[in-house]
Chains A and B, each alone.
Chain A
Amino acid sequence: MPWPKETRWLGKETPRVDGPAKVTGRAKFTSDIVLPGVLHGAILRAKWPAAHVKSVNLEKARRAPGIKAAILVNEGEFEVRYAGQEIAALAGTSKQAVLDALALIEVSAEPAAFVVKELEAVKADAPQVFAGKANLTEGAAKETGEVAAAFAAAAAVAEATVSTPIQLHQPMEPHGHTVQIDGDELTAWSSTQGVFACRDSFAKSMNFPQSKVRVTCEHMGGGFGSKFNPGVEGLLCAKLAQAAGAPVKLMLTRAEEGLAVGNRPSSFQKLKLAADAEGKLTAFEIYSVGTPGFAAGANQGGGSGGASFPAPYIYKPAATRVKQGSVAVNAGQSCAFRAPGHPVASVGMEAVLDELAVKLGVDPVEIRIKNDPHEIRRKEYALGAEKFGWKEKYRKPGASPGPVKTGVGVAGAAWMSGGRGTQAEIQVNADGTVEVRVGTQDLGTGSRTVVQVVAAEMLGLDRDRITVRIGDSRFPPSGSSGGSQTTAAVSPAIFDACENVLAELKKVSGLDDPRGANWKAACAKLGSAPLQVRGKWREGLSTGGAGGVQFAEVGVDTDMGAVKVKKVLVVQDCGLVVNKLTCESQINGGVIMGLGYALYEQRVMDARTGFVLNPTLENYKLPGAADLPEIQIMLLDMPERGVIGVGEPCTVPTASAIANAVANALGVRVPDLPLTPDRVLAALGKVPKGATGTAARPDATAGAFAAVAAAPEAEWVESNGGCHSYT
């Protein structure tokens, strides 16, 4: 790799360049954009989980005080498939005027039968989300090797049935846009992970030339995969702006975030894993079903339409049987969510692997080192076990004395990372200041800081000479921020542009090395025309395939069922570290999100009303500061591998490691995530008979697995291909 060996900025701890602006409130997020004459937009959403809508009358709403535009989402009759589906939108002079006018929209609808629970929806007599189509779609059974024979010949076979909840993205900044249409130009201020993707999407749906659409996103408060395009709300915002002839701001409310902007599909998994006497994995079987939302049964093509996930995850026994189903329910649709598929896959696989280790009497770390095909992860397990004190801490399951039992668990992650296709532009002014322009955006990962660090390093300058401009589709193109690809896509482009700057500057100034001490003198030769130079991503500076492992230590109060995570150790492969602080910050965030998945987060649907009962943060429980464990991070700094993104792999194994630690503490597995006190107590047999609890009922899951196993292959909806591939 051509990256410098001795560095001043690369791999060091650089605080975010926009940190001061963010903590003082000067940073402008989408909701801070206030254009003169801007109108407020809001959406009318269906209050039925299923209905046939015959007509929507906007006239009364249109005449309400302050209302300037009223539009329909669908012309004519249409079907409602979940409570929260968009029906119409209004724009008006104040937020309250618009909210009040929403109540004046008349919707004539015939409510229909619906189903919101996965294990009900798989039943043959369940209401169909799409009339005439089975709710359950199955993937082709994938079989390799002689599965039955391999299980029969195994030294030990372990089984596990687990479930994972629907997790909501709930980014701190809700989804939203401000759109202005001025003549033939459309400008959008969007909270987005992809300014170019948004530009193209606005152009297409609004029928504008791409050259006349500009999307900017100076700062944004997270997206986690749910902000790759403008969404229905963005399109409605643009249409309202067009209809009203005035700019419109449309930001979703917190409750809307819980209904209609994506989620991580649920899963129910029945797994079987076998090994020979040496502990080498020989056979694997999984039946799974989950819901990605209402569209699972539809032939929707592409997108995150399925609830399938990589299986077997990470490990590669020779004989495998995999059958996965997706079931449609009357609820909001999933979309990409930080490491799509992987945390789900990891929870089941790492659980059954631990059960197998117990049966074989093999240490959980050893069985992983023995079976993991990834060399770096094997190294990470060894390093991590040492640092964590695994040998001293690991006890037989349930062996810790009570009432607060401690336990430890471990799990691994695979992620493709990678990233390419970014261009950048550098302008050097005669006074020696530098502007770097690149059409990426900062999802919250610190992209702006990464750009500055690379430029400062390559040009040999103090960071404050370098102004970074990102988040604008008028800048040189870069991809969307997803797949943990941004840093690996952007850094090489900056590197390349810097090389070109230095070459040009050498020519102009006649100085052999215009960097560092010579910089001012070299730039002074530029005269009145600043130097503008381009660069683009090139091979050989970044790579993909990030492995990581995590160790967790928990205390479980067996009287009250409360789980407290004491410590998480992350050993993360991340190639060349560009900025240690933002890299570690990503990992902290990933661990916290995984902790939420393990212990707190779950969208709760009500079977009889079809409503999401906890769309807001009062009852959709995100981890807070008081819930955080000590997070210890070991970065495997391997500059020779080039830049690798870590945003997703770092969230994959957290929940699995925690769930394994809880099983280790208790000596029984709490099968359903999140591991809430009621479920822990139920697993311990402390809940009175007759109380069914919130855990998945074995007879219901058995029915679902039987349905997946028995049903013929049907229309298969491939899940988001790009994001789901892994090494």
Chain B
Amino acid sequence: MNAFSYVTAQTAGSAVELVRERGRFLAGGMDLLGEIKDGLAEPAVLVNVKALPGTREIVVAKDKVVIGANVTLATLAEHAEAKKLLPALAQAADAVGSPQMRNVGTVGGNLAQHSRCWYYRQRDVRCVKKGGSRCFARGGENKYHSLFTKNMCLSPCVSNLAVALSALDAAVVVQRGAKTVTLAIAQLYERAWSEPKAHHSLAADELILRVEVPVAAGARSAYVRIAEKNEFDWALVSCVAAGRIEGGKLRGVRVALGSVAPIPWQVKEANAALEGREPTAENAAKAAERLLKDAEPREQIGYKIPIAQALVKRAVTALAG
């Protein structure tokens, strides 16, 4: 491990200044410390961002819920109003790792976490994500990898919160230099779609401040997933459906899949197929078909397709209440 300095930032502005010289933001450290210990990251400075004012609160406003970047996953999972207004998000937070991890891991860290690909995480493998020339998962042991990608790297986005926030149409407020900018979830990850080295779209000095999730009257959502183990395991595939029910019909509905692409996977046509329809298994199957249309079931990944179909059905029909 290289020697590094450690500094606690007091303002968002100073945090992004301090991180410029080969630094990394440190929140709960669940991901970052592992990367440092495994020799995958060699930061010169760790900028602790947990003391930034206003980043540990969940504020419920009339039309949105605002979640600070340093809210822990446990706090989010147990938050009474979040559970009521944004059940999928609370469920997604509750399904992360173990209680110990949820007590320490944060919303910002979960969204900005790096690849968990077991080739990427090997100290002595230099894969395309680390600037090497090949993706070892291609033609290798790839059962935990992507059905969709536009680049060489097969590592999927595995953040539980990303898939939930994607379906909930959330926005992420980011400190970029002296300004703050607001990104849609799709924007937060779009670079990972096309660039093999990217884990998300943020530059090293861009800091997530908070997440804003719109809520409308009658909004419903559901998070479902399957993992190999019942607890403390990564989702093989996850699915979130969100929308309103008006007169028995779905309105403003979005369905997203997790762990199947380097980004939370949404397809406009799939959402459109559900708009104005009842949340039935048949309608869900039509949406699933559109969601999975371009899937590439390479080597060991094909089984994710039937799982995704089943999860879409379960998530959509769950909206019926």
**Nearest B residue (CB) for A564:** B230
Among A99, A560, A686, the one with the most B-chain Cβ atoms within 10 Å of its Cβ is A560
Q: Are B118 and A627 touching (Cβ within 8 A)? A: no
Bound CA span A490–B250, Å: 70
- Quick check: is B301 within 8 A (CB to CB) of the other chain? yes
**Nearest B residue (CB) for A679:** B303
Q: Are B303 and A691 touching (Cβ within 8 A)? A: yes
Given known A606-B136, A691-B297, contact A624–B228 (CB-CB < 8 A): no
- Quick check: is B233 within 8 A (CB to CB) of the other chain? yes
Q: Are A687 and B303 touching (Cβ within 8 A)? A: yes
Q: Is the interface of A mostly helix, strand, loop or mixed?
A: loop
Q: Are A624 and B232 touching (Cβ within 8 A)? A: yes
Residues facing A in B190-214 (CB within 8 A) are none
Residue numbers in B under 8 Å from A208 (CB-CB): none
Given known A559-B306, A600-B229, A677-B307, contact A690–B140 (CB-CB < 8 A): no
Residue numbers in B under 8 Å from A607 (CB-CB): 140
User: What 0/1 pattern do residues 135 to 163 of B give for CB contact below 8 A with A?
Assistant: 01001110100000000000000000000
Among A564, A607, A608, A691, the one with the most B-chain Cβ atoms within 10 Å of its Cβ is A691
- Quick check: is B231 within 8 A (CB to CB) of the other chain? yes
Residues facing B in A566-590 (CB within 8 A) are none
Residue numbers in A under 8 Å from B313 (CB-CB): 559
Q: Are A678 and B140 touching (Cβ within 8 A)? A: no
Residue numbers in B under 8 Å from A99 (CB-CB): 1
**Among candidates B1, B122, B297, B310, residue contacting A688 with C-beta atoms closer than 8 Å:** B297
Residues facing B in A672-706 (CB within 8 A) are 676-678, 681-682, 686-688, 690-694
**Among candidates A47, A560, A600, A609, residue contacting B307 with C-beta atoms closer than 8 Å:** A560
Residue numbers in B under 8 Å from A599 (CB-CB): 228
Q: Are A678 and B119 touching (Cβ within 8 A)? A: no
Residue numbers in A under 8 Å from B140 (CB-CB): 606-608
**Nearest B residue (CB) for A559:** B310
The segment from A29-37, A146-154, A408-416, A611-619 that touches chain B is A611-619
- Quick check: is B49 within 8 A (CB to CB) of the other chain? no
Bound CA span A677–B313, Å: 18
Bound CA span A96–B305, Å: 45
- Quick check: is B236 within 8 A (CB to CB) of the other chain? yes
Q: How far is the CB of B86 from chain A (nearest CB, A)?
A: 24
Given known A678-B300, A692-B299, contact A621–B228 (CB-CB < 8 A): yes
**Among candidates B116, B118, B306, residue contacting A687 with C-beta atoms closer than 8 Å:** B306
Q: Are B122 and A613 touching (Cβ within 8 A)? A: yes
Q: How far is the CB of B275 from chain A (nearest CB, A)?
A: 25
Residues facing B in A128-154 (CB within 8 A) are none
- Quick check: is B125 within 8 A (CB to CB) of the other chain? yes
- Quick check: is A23 within 8 A (CB to CB) of the other chain? no
- Quick check: is B311 within 8 A (CB to CB) of the other chain? yes
Residue numbers in A under 8 Å from B118 (CB-CB): 604, 613-614, 619
Q: Are B231 and A626 touching (Cβ within 8 A)? A: yes
**Among candidates B125, B230, B300, residue contacting A626 with C-beta atoms closer than 8 Å:** B230
Q: Are A600 and B230 touching (Cβ within 8 A)? A: no
Q: How far is the CB of B264 from chain A (nearest CB, A)?
A: 20
Bound CA span A564–B229, Å: 9
Q: Are B124 and A611 touching (Cβ within 8 A)? A: yes
Q: Are B300 and A694 touching (Cβ within 8 A)? A: yes
Interface residues of B (CB under 8 A from A): 1, 116, 118-119, 122, 124-125, 136, 139-141, 143, 226, 228-233, 236, 297-303, 305-307, 309-311, 313
27 intermolecular pairs with C-beta atoms under 8 Å apart: A96-B1, A100-B1, A559-B307, A559-B309, A559-B313, A560-B310, A560-B311, A599-B228, A604-B118, A604-B141, A606-B140, A606-B141, A608-B139, A609-B125, A613-B118, A613-B141, A623-B229, A627-B231, A677-B236, A677-B303, A681-B306, A686-B303, A687-B303, A691-B298, A692-B299, A692-B300, A693-B303
